[in-house]
């Protein structure tokens, strides 16, 4: 009878451990960062962002970026937007976009993404300086 109680206790402990880990995970555990904060002004500018898991510092692969907005809100001109399209990634955890930046200055790329295994939507804003 003793081995049975041990197995039940061990299984219960593992269940609590895994449940706690899932509860502790949060969209706030992730961050978008610029690969290069300075970009060229004009048509065909490339904007690259890295999505990282803050606790480990490792890049996050396989995220689905489903909503983006590119505007000049860093320069108090949020109504000034730029067309942009997603491009294929070239390295793990890096998400690339091609944009037509119509003027020099600060541009904010606002992103929403679904990360594998994360129930919440990850949101972030990355600021670029077009020169």
Residue 67 has pLDDT above 80, yes or no: yes
For residues 77-92, average pLDDT:
95
- Domains annotated on the chain, with CATH: 27-130 (2.60.40.1080)
Q: Return the CA Rg of the chain.
A: 20
Q: What is the pLDDT of residue 112?
A: 98
For residues 74-81, average pLDDT:
97
Q: What are phi and psi of 77, to 5 degrees?
A: -130, 60
């Amino acid at each position: 009878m003793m081995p049975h109680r041990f197995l039940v206790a061990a299984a219960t402990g593992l269940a609590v451990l895994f449940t706690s880990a899932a509860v502790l995970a949060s969209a706030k555990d992730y961050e978008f960062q610029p690969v290069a904060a300075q970009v060229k002004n004009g048509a065909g500018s490339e904007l690259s962002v890295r999505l990282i898991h803050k606790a480990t510092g490792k890049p996050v692969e396989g995220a689905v970026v489903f909503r983006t907005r590119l505007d000049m809100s860093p320069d108090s001109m949020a109504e000034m937007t730029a067309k942009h399209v997603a491009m294929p990634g070239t390295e793990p955890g890096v998400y690339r976009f091609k944009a037509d930046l119509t003027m020099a200055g600060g541009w904010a790329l606002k992103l929403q993404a679904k990360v594998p295994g994360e129930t919440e939507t990850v949101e972030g804003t990355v600021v670029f300086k077009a020169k």
